[in-house]
């Protein structure tokens, strides 16, 4: 199974390492694919949009014609996980923000709501289907409103991890803990959709975008 990671900026290598660890630990055929252009989308069944500078990642996605390509493929059957900045990018579009949302997850986001990087912190939260997990919050957004999604975990009664049928969104950074369980959960979401391995082409991207 090929899992793409948007590879411009942010915690890219950390997600790659988690996926390699998961592949080795569970003896699964999981291959990370750095996504920097539309061609890379051709061979992936799932995509991770990492944390980082949401404005920078958004601008690069637009520059390389990936923003709309990801959005359209996700509306068909591409699975997407967004962490921190990645969640902002897959949430509802906020016309007042410099960062456009793809509208994949029915949530409204407030950027950098926990303060500057100096205000970063970690907290153990209880996540449905996963258990207790050390969540690392770095310049994290807040989920202000939830619509048609399932809230899997909260911090101080505020949702911090939500999902829908094909999409998983987190305000924190699971890739910084070395704990593979959230990534494993995402892999299992894809597997339930019928994707076991992807050595072959998954998409003819030009048919969709």
Out of 14, 84, 183, 184, the active site residue is 84
Closest to 102 (Cα-Cα) out of 151, 153, 164: 164
Q: What is the pLDDT of residue 191?
A: 87
Structure-token pair, residue 35: 């996504």
Out of 173, 183, 184, 206, pick the active-site residue.
173
Q: pLDDT tens across 54-72, in order?
A: 999 999 999 999 999 999 9
- pLDDT, mean of residues 153-159: 96
Q: Which of 175, 183, 188, 206 is catalytic?
A: 175
**Residue 145 annotated among the catalytic residues of the structure:** no
Q: Report all structural domains of the chain as residue ranges with CATH numbers, in order of start.
A: 2-207 (3.40.50.880)
Q: What tokens were used for 183? A: 């990534």
Stronger pLDDT, 33 or 116, i.e. the higher one: 33
Active site (annotated) includes residue 173: yes
Q: Provide the 3-class DSSP secondary structure of residue 58.
A: helix
Euclidean distance between CA atoms 80 and 201, whole angstroms: 18
Q: What is the distance between the alpha carbons of residues 77 and 147, in angstroms, rounded to a whole number?
A: 20
Catalytic residue at 183?
A: no
* Token pair listed for 65: 């014609």
């Amino acid at each position: 199974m090929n899992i793409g990671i948007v590879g411009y900026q942010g915690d890219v290598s950390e997600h790659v390492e988690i996926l390699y660890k998961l592949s080795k630990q569970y003896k699964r055929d999981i291959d990370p694919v750095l996504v920097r252009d539309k061609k890379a989308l051709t061979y992936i069944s799932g995509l991770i949009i990492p944390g980082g500078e949401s404005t920078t990642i958004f601008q690069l996605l637009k520059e390389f014609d990936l923003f709309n390509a990801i959005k359209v493929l996700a509306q068909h059957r591409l699975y997407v996980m967004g962490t921190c900045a990645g969640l902002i990018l897959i949430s509802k579009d906020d016309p007042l923000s410099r960062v456009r949302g793809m509208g994949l997850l029915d949530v409204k986001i407030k950027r950098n709501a926990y303060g500057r990087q100096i205000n970063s912190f970690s907290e153990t939260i209880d996540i449905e289907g996963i258990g207790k997990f050390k969540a690392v919050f770095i310049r994290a957004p807040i989920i202000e409103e939830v619509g048609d999604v399932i809230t899997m975990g909260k911090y101080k009664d505020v949702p911090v991890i939500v999902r829908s049928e094909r999409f998983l969104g987190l305000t924190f950074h699971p890739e910084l803990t070395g704990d593979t369980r959230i990534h494993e959960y995402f892999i299992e979401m894809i597997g339930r959709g019928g994707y076991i391995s992807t050595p072959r082409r998954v998409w003819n991207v030009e048919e969709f975008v």
